[in-house]
Structure 1
Amino acid sequence: MGSMLFAVWRIIVEVFVFWRKKFLQWYHRRTPVEEWLALLRRASAYEDWEDAALQLDSLLGLDAWRHSPASRYYDWRLIASRLDALAAARSPAEGGGGGGITDVSGLVNLLRSGLVRNLGNITAPRLYNRSFAGTKLLIEEYITAVAEAIEDIAALPAPGSGGVVPAYYNTGRTSGAEPAPAGQQHVHFGVNTNGGGDNSSATSTSSESKRPPPPHPATMSNQAKLDFVHDTRQAFGRSTLVLQGGAIFGLVHLGVVKALFLRGLLPRIITGTATGALIAALVAIHTEEELPRVLKGDGIDLSAFAGRAGVEGGGVGARGEKAGGESLGTRLRTLARRVRRFTREGYFLDVKVLEECVRANVGDLTFEEAYTRSKRVLNITVATAGQGGVPTLLNYLTAPNVLIWTAAVASNASTPSLYGHRETTLLCKDANGSIVPWAPANTIDFRHWTHVSYSDKDSPLLRIAELFNVNHFIVSQARPYLIPFLQSDMHGPSLLETRNKTTAATAFLVRMVGLEIRHRLRQLDTLQLLPVGIRRFLVDEVVPGPSVTLVPEVTAGDFIRLLETPTRETLDYWILRGERSVWPAVAALRIRCAVETELDRAYQGARRLKAGGLRRRRSSTAMALGVPDREGRERANSVGA
């Protein structure tokens, strides 16, 4: 009897355990959407992120929205008509028997008539927050067609060249970057350089004799090509990447630059403020070939931080290899060390470490030397509190001989309670190459940017627009006190908002309240009624033009990292954070910047062709006059010697 009761009890327990396990599996199960959403958030490479985004669009039916051109948020009829017109202008004449442009003048006029980045409202944020993977396919096809048309014009042979396409236009789109992955909506071009179609060799001679002769291939002189690309580029405008803030969070800027560079979307004009100035300087001094190594973190020297931590806190290697995840005790010792410095010397952070780190990575390059080396325009903003004599924007035009690392340190100048009563000295190179103080800044006391309220007329960003024809700003925001209250402009769809109308209404109200508060704060700041101590935490710099704001997602634990010493592991962590802030905005940035990138590439190629033509012309003229060229004269002199 007892054994029977035990057997029954055992069966009941086994049944209970079985169904309990099934219930827990059912309760914690994930739907396919949740699985792909988790993969989207954990992605460590853009290819993985894009694959998850495409799968989510398919599961949620968002791909149907992308395929349908109609939308009330942009003029899709205008875009469709211009796409058809571009296709007609680029198609060969009937009976031409081959590819190539036949109406160059018509294509040029068509392109110039649509030189607006926001043509038909195609850059409206609503068009990029409806789908995970991109926007309307009609918009993507139109931008691709415009870029391809510019490519076709740039690849036209010059008269008398025999129809040979310049080698400059057979290169890839992303110089120095990894090849674009399959399925990516990169602007990819192919130019038919054969002057004919895919004619079969089996066609009879009699049938070919009946075919009308092909039209003469279109040509364009190097000077006409340079004029067209220059004028078109000037009318379209240029973009700048603005790196703002902020403490150790500023390392996310490296990830932002890396993501843009690998997608071929990194602007040639880079602007930095505070910690962003350090990252901008690090990026702008390197060539296309050197950037991949730097953006992986391998080319960044952190020995200044490691050495200081080794002296004051102890135990970190020469390049900071040890402290990948610092213990709570290490963080507390760091905090205690900074508090002791504040009570003993009156300031919280050691700016000497910052100076050593910047100089170790940038060296003694000037703005002009960096531009000559990399062809990237570096802008560093400094705050002078209205003191005259020094521009608030330093670059190769306004301060060509100033050392970059001293400008970056000046951009990080802050309140005495934070960095102490230290004067920031700008250094420059004189005519002999010696490093001396920059005379215009000898009497300037640099301030933190939040201590200066720029008006519209003297804003550094507005000055960039004036100097370099910038009309589009890509802003990477990393200030710790602003990140919790901001959201990237291109953040993709919210599943909660799409599935729950109550949640959607609540989110809308929260956004409206936030926008209203920011508007009122700006009004108080304009009237100079906002105290400086509050302004630096609540008011961001006004961007004078269309912009895209990129904000990294941070957690509460990330703020503890403000006490960490920067290491290689810390770099990897923040670089990935920065990349993830860019990926949802890649589609929007491609629409905004693909045409500009192609114009810039065509302009550089046209300039090289023009310069080569001038050299050949001078050489032929010299030969006709019996004057040897420079190289020949040098060889003759060396032989005679």
Structure 2
Amino acid sequence: MTMQRTVPIPSPSPAQVKLELPRTASERAIPPVLQPKAAWKDSERIAQFIANVTSAVLVVAIASYYFVPLVALAMAETPRLATQVQDRAVWTAGNASVVFTDGWTAMQKLEIKPSSSVVSILQRMMNSPQVTAALTLTTACLVLIRKYKVVGWFLYLQAGVTLQWGIALYQLARIVFSMSCYFTVKFVKVVIALFRRGYSSIFGVRNRQAVALRQLMKSAPTHAVWAEMAEYLDTLEGKDHWKTTISDDDLEYCDFVQLQKNLTALARAMNEKKPNIRELRYMIQACAMRNELGVDSPSLHLECKSGTKTVINEYNGAIVRALEMLGNASEEEFSSAEKIEFFRHVKQSFGSTALCLSGGGSIAMYHKGIIKALLEADLMPNIVSGSSGGAITAAMIACKTNKELLDDIIQDDVSTKFIPLGIRWFPPLLEQITHCIKTGFLIECSTFERTTQHYFGEPLNEVQKTLYYTFQDAYLKTGRHVCITVSASDVNSAHKGPKKLLLDHINSPHVLLWSAVACSCSLPGIMKSKQLMARDFDGNVVPYNSLGKEWCDGSIQHDLPMETMASCFNVTNFIVSQVNPHVVPFVGDEINQPGFRKSIFHTLESVIAADVRHRLKMLAFLGLFPKIYGHQFSAYFRQNFSGNVTLVPEFSFQEAVGIKAIQNPTKQDMHDYIEGGQRTAWPKLAYIRHLCSIEKCLDRQLNRLLGPSVVPYNNWLHPDSKELQANQNKTTPIA
């Protein structure tokens, strides 16, 4: 029996007890936890204060170093002014005009000569009694400013603000110059590409065939047709030899020597006659990891249209076969309990894949084509995030099964078939302009919320018309980890809570999907920020928290919440669907053409883009970004907008300039969005399959060992849904 020792806690003596009573009535009324903190404790205000102090010190230092000695010397060389100062007649009103004239004459004598020395000037000044009188007058002014601090602070702050705005204008001018250089480089690159294409089409038969084939691939009806044309294109361009050989350039990205050794060891352990289970376990734990030996490098997977190096495919396939062999091992060699523990450890080490859907308004409907391509290829990740326009598609993924997505959601009429009922994402442009003139916002919040309620609800019965999904309901139905981002509104600056939220079934299980989408799409100027709504323990719809916080567009703070998702769901691989019109020009070439990184154009564009980002961060640090509808956008420019695989569609002119972003998609628009999204994903499907094949194999083994996961289709823990007998026998497999 283990004895526990109790240590007595001494009670404080009456002399040690110190009671602190509230000093004011306001402190007595407000609990200490809810009392507002000093404004200067805000980090942004501290940064702005430091910038003000630094700029003011610089102004004073520069002025003192250059102008004060020269002014004093000029005053010393003006006899009438010096006499007036010594006789103190300068303070009389009668001599004011004389003093002003002499002072102006002294100012005109300020000439900065390169050969003059500040030390010699100071020596001449100190030997003059007139300069001594001038310094005395300056000291008196400083004493006056110190005594009346309001005057001093006013002059100090004005000097700081002036320098601050000077720096801001300089940074803006440099940004404009850099952007002009950036688009000039883009233009030159397009001209050279057109010249090369024209030259190839005139002087090369094979090149003419390749150009024609690329055009046909842009209109391929299915991925199978596209893949067949891609293989023929690789043959025309001589890429078949690249797949089977290893060059010195390839060794920069991957250690093919060690890869071949590992492949030989795996083949030896997977002996068909008598596989060595212990060696396989050892090899898998050493080889099953992200970018092991550099095999995941984009330069090795995007050089060809139809795949990567043959040895990389063999290596990836060997790891998958080894995992399946371990899963099928006998109970004597490898027990089920050991298998479960082993595969869980490998999955934890390998990590998961997430799909991040960027914002972009109506242009975010391109995401639906991306989803369709991934579903048809059986490569749809189980972890998805969405912000702003991407939150619409993410919420549909959360509450719809694969079959429902393909049959009901990813259709040409999904955004128009409910218009007769008043259900649409965006009203006509003229109506938006009229509403903006009246209220200052383009879209009426109640209309948009009614649309989100329609799309993210489930019909129940005559009494309870509709069940509105929460994040928990959606997860229990589909098993997908779906996250939606929202940003805190800056209008109510008294609240010091979080600046951003990642809403999912773990952090916010009771938040309603329609409310999360409505808040995440509330871009300042487009829609007014609003509160999140949730379902409480009695089934009532209530505000999510008691602080009265309003939330707006999620892309302001974190368009792609990769860091938070990595910590919450162990995500190590990110597939990004990027459709923001202002982001696409800066990421398109680098992610679609790996060879582009070796060109002089990539070097120039990288330097210019880095310079623009640096200057935007400087403006954000100085607090000089203007607030739009009371919201600060400085955090937007500090984000990362690409992932391990970044999918960027080809925009039309209206999409590139953002006009389509605030228009409700027509049936033809949705058709173009879905097809465009599919054709954007097809060139990267082989790369995505390589990145996800080991992860998918681990998931299959764990599902087989742990049993199939199904949930009853009785509207997922809603109290009123228990009366529905018709759906009791329906089940939905977790995707």
TM-score normalised to the size of structure 2?
0.60
Q: Which residue of 2 aligns with 1:548?
A: 645
Distance 1:565 1:428 in 2: 27
Q: How big is the shift at 1:223?
A: 0.9
Q: Quick one: structure 1 residues 36 and 269, their matched pair in 2 at CA, closer, same or farther if it must change by over 3 Å? A: same
Q: Quick one: structure 1 residues 57 and 28, their matched pair in 2 at CA, closer, same or farther if it must change by over 3 Å? A: closer
Cα deviation, 1:539-560, whole Å, max 9, x if unaligned, reads 5563599622211110214455
Distance 1:531 1:148 in 2: 55
Q: Which residue of 2 aligns with 1:4?
A: none
Q: How big is the shift at 1:340?
A: 1.6
Distance 1:353 1:157 in 2: 60
Q: Which residue of 1 aligns with 2:390?
A: 276
Alignment map for 1:284-433 (pairs within 5 Å): 284-294=398-408, 296-297=410-411, 300=414, 302-303=416-417, 305=419, 307-308=421-422, 334-363=428-457, 364-384=468-488, 387-388=496-497, 392-415=501-524, 417-420=525-528, 423-433=529-539
Q: How big is the shift at 1:111?
A: 0.5
Q: Which residue of 2 aligns with 1:512?
A: 606
Distance 2:498 2:234 in 1: 55
Structure 2 letter corresponding to 1:516: A
Q: Which residue of 1 aligns with 2:179?
A: none
Number of paired residues?
Answer: 486
Q: Which residue of 2 aligns with 1:59?
A: 236
Q: Quick one: structure 1 residues 301 and 552, their matched pair in 2 at CA, closer, same or farther if it must change by over 3 Å? A: closer
Distance 1:260 1:488 in 2: 22
Cα deviation, 1:238-261, whole Å, max 9, x if unaligned, reads 121111111111001111111122
Q: How big is the shift at 1:517?
A: 3.6
Alignment map for 1:576-595 (pairs within 5 Å): 576-595=675-694
Structure 1 letter corresponding to 2:697: E
Distance 1:532 1:229 in 2: 52
Q: Which residue of 1 aligns with 2:143?
A: none
Query: Conserved in 2, the CA contact under 8 Å of 1:366 and 1:403?
Result: yes
Equivalent in 138, 143, 148 of residue 311 of structure 2: 138
Q: Quick one: structure 1 residues 609 and 506, their matched pair in 2 at CA, closer, same or farther if it must change by over 3 Å? A: closer
Distance 2:412 2:688 in 1: 27
Distance 2:626 2:246 in 1: 49
Query: Conserved in 2, the CA contact under 8 Å of 1:461 and 1:544?
Result: no
RMSD between aligned residues: 3.4
Q: Which residue of 1 aligns with 2:197?
A: none
Q: Is 2:696 aligned against 1:608?
A: no
Relative contact order (C-alpha < 8 Å, sep 6+): which is higher? 1
Cα deviation, 1:554-577, whole Å, max 9, x if unaligned, reads 021445534643233322210111
Query: Conserved in 1, the CA contact under 8 Å of 2:343 and 2:701?
Result: yes
Secondary structure class of the residue paired with 1:436: strand
Distance 1:144 1:41 in 2: 30
Q: How big is the shift at 1:594?
A: 1.3
Structure 1 gaps of 5+ residues are 1-24, 160-218, 309-317, 321-330, 499-503, 612-641
Distance 2:419 2:611 in 1: 39
Query: Conserved in 2, the CA contact under 8 Å of 1:293 and 1:299?
Result: no
Q: Which residue of 2 aligns with 1:147?
A: 320
Q: Which shows bigger deviation, 555-564 or 463-472?
A: 555-564
Distance 1:344 1:239 in 2: 46
Alignment map for 1:34-183 (pairs within 5 Å): 34-70=211-247, 71-72=250-251, 73-92=253-272, 96=273, 102-159=275-332
Q: Which residue of 2 aligns with 1:184?
A: none
Q: How big is the shift at 1:76?
A: 1.0
Query: Conserved in 2, the CA contact under 8 Å of 1:492 and 1:584?
Result: no
Question: Which of the two has higher C-alpha Rg?
Answer: 2
Query: Conserved in 2, the CA contact under 8 Å of 1:86 and 1:107?
Result: yes
Q: Quick one: structure 1 residues 508 and 544, their matched pair in 2 at CA, closer, same or farther if it must change by over 3 Å? A: closer
Q: How big is the shift at 1:489?
A: 5.2
Q: Which residue of 1 aligns with 2:543?
A: 437
Query: Conserved in 2, the CA contact under 8 Å of 1:69 and 1:138?
Result: no
Query: Conserved in 2, the CA contact under 8 Å of 1:128 and 1:490?
Result: no
Query: Conserved in 1, the CA contact under 8 Å of 2:469 and 2:512?
Result: yes
Query: Conserved in 2, the CA contact under 8 Å of 1:412 and 1:448?
Result: yes
Equivalent in 537, 553, 578 of residue 448 of structure 1: 553
Structure 2 gaps of 5+ residues are 1-200, 458-467, 490-494, 711-735
Alignment map for 1:489-638 (pairs within 5 Å): 490-492=591-593, 505=599, 507-517=601-611, 519-521=613-615, 523-524=617-618, 527=621, 531=625, 542-543=639-640, 547-558=644-655, 559-562=658-661, 564-608=663-707
Distance 2:627 2:254 in 1: 42
Equivalent in 561, 565, 569 of residue 468 of structure 1: 569
Distance 1:358 1:79 in 2: 50
Q: How big is the shift at 1:530?
A: 6.0
Distance 2:450 2:511 in 1: 17
Query: Conserved in 1, the CA contact under 8 Å of 2:442 and 2:526?
Result: yes
Secondary structure class of the residue paired with 1:396: coil
Query: Conserved in 1, the CA contact under 8 Å of 2:284 and 2:319?
Result: yes
Counting aligned pairs with the same residue, the percent is 26
Q: How big is the shift at 1:125?
A: 2.2
Query: Conserved in 1, the CA contact under 8 Å of 2:382 and 2:481?
Result: yes
Q: Quick one: structure 1 residues 355 and 257, their matched pair in 2 at CA, closer, same or farther if it must change by over 3 Å? A: same
Q: How big is the shift at 1:451?
A: 4.7
Q: Quick one: structure 1 residues 86 and 126, their matched pair in 2 at CA, closer, same or farther if it must change by over 3 Å? A: same
Q: How big is the shift at 1:84?
A: 1.5
TM-score normalised to the size of structure 1?
0.69
Secondary structure class of the residue paired with 2:402: coil
Q: How big is the shift at 1:383?
A: 0.8
Distance 1:538 1:430 in 2: 33
Q: How big is the shift at 1:307?
A: 4.7
Query: Conserved in 2, the CA contact under 8 Å of 1:491 and 1:585?
Result: no
Structure 2 letter corresponding to 1:469: N
Cα deviation, 1:83-112, whole Å, max 9, x if unaligned, reads 1111111113xxx4xxxx621111011000
Q: Which residue of 2 aligns with 1:239?
A: 353
Structure 2 letter corresponding to 1:113: A
Q: How big is the shift at 1:508?
A: 3.0
Q: How big is the shift at 1:117?
A: 0.9
Alignment map for 1:227-266 (pairs within 5 Å): 227-266=341-380
Query: Conserved in 2, the CA contact under 8 Å of 1:471 and 1:546?
Result: no
Structure 2 letter corresponding to 1:419: M
Query: Conserved in 2, the CA contact under 8 Å of 1:491 and 1:584?
Result: no
Query: Conserved in 2, the CA contact under 8 Å of 1:368 and 1:400?
Result: yes
Distance 1:380 1:319 in 2: 21
